Amino acid sequence: MKQNLVVIPTFNEIENIEDILIAVMNVTTPMDVLVVDDNSPDGTADKVLQIAKEYPNRIFLKKRMKKNGLGTAYVAGFNWALKNNYTYIFEMDADFSHNPNDLPLLLQACENGADVAIGSRYVKGVNVVNWPLSRVLLSYFASVYVRFITGMKVMDTTAGFICYNRKVLEQINLERIKFVGYAFQIEMKYRAFSRTFKLVEVPIIFTDRTKGKSKMSGGIIKEAVLGVLQLRFKKLFNKL
Ligand X SMILES: Nc1nc2c(ncn2[C@@H]2O[C@H](COP(=O)(O)OP(=O)(O)O)[C@@H](O)[C@H]2O)c(=O)[nH]1
10 binds ligand X per the rule CB under 6 A: yes
Q: Which does 67 bind (CB under 5 to 8 A by kind): Mg ion, ligand X, none?
A: ligand X
Point out which span in 10-18, 24-32, 114-122, 161-169 binds ligand X (CB under 6 A).
Answer: 10-18
Point out which span in 61-69, 80-88, 114-122, 125-133 binds ligand X (CB under 6 A).
Answer: 61-69
93 binds Mg ion per the rule CB under 5 A: yes
95 binds ligand X per the rule CB under 6 A: yes
Q: Report the alpha-carbon distance of residue 34 to residue 6 in Å, rounded.
A: 6
71 binds ligand X per the rule CB under 6 A: no
- Figure out which of the listed residues 72, 97, 143, 165 binds Mg ion, where binding follows CB under 5 A: 97
- Give the footprint of ligand X on residues 113-152 (CB under 6 A): none
**In terms of Cα–Cα distance, which of 141, 122, 140, 232 is closest to 187?**
232
List the beta bridge partners of residue 62: 36
- Figure out which of the listed residues 32, 38, 156, 201 binds ligand X, where binding follows CB under 6 A: 38
CA-CA-CA-CA torsion for 92, 33, 102, 189, nearest 10 degrees? 40
DSSP 8-state class, residue 227: H
Point out which span in 13-21, 95-103, 128-136, 188-196 binds Mg ion (CB under 5 A).
Answer: 95-103
188 binds ligand X per the rule CB under 6 A: no
- Figure out which of the listed residues 4, 5, 13, 100 binds ligand X, where binding follows CB under 6 A: 13
- Residue closer to ligand X by CB (options 14, 240) is 14
- Give the footprint of ligand X on residues 199-228 (CB under 6 A): 209, 214-216
**CB of 39: closest distance to ligand X in angstroms?**
9
Amino acid letter at 45?
Answer: A
Beta strands (DSSP E) in 42-108 are 59-63, 86-91
Query: How many residues are recorded in the chain?
Result: 240
84 binds ligand X per the rule CB under 6 A: no
The CA distances from residue 80 to 54, 62, 161, 198, in Å, are 22, 9, 18, 23
**Does an H or E element contain 19, and which?**
helix 17-25
Q: Report the alpha-carbon distance of residue 182 to residue 163 in Å, rounded.
A: 17
Q: Report the alpha-carbon distance of residue 184 to residue 9 in Å, rounded.
A: 13
DSSP 8-state class, residue 198: P
- Figure out which of the listed residues 5, 6, 7, 11 binds ligand X, where binding follows CB under 6 A: 11
**Does an H or E element contain 106, and which?**
helix 103-111
70 binds ligand X per the rule CB under 6 A: yes
User: Does residue 77 contact residue 123 with C-beta atoms inside 8 Å?
Assistant: no
By CB under 6 A, name the binding residues for ligand X.
9-11, 13, 36-38, 67-70, 73, 93-95, 97, 209, 214-216
By CB under 5 A, name the binding residues for Mg ion.
93, 95, 97
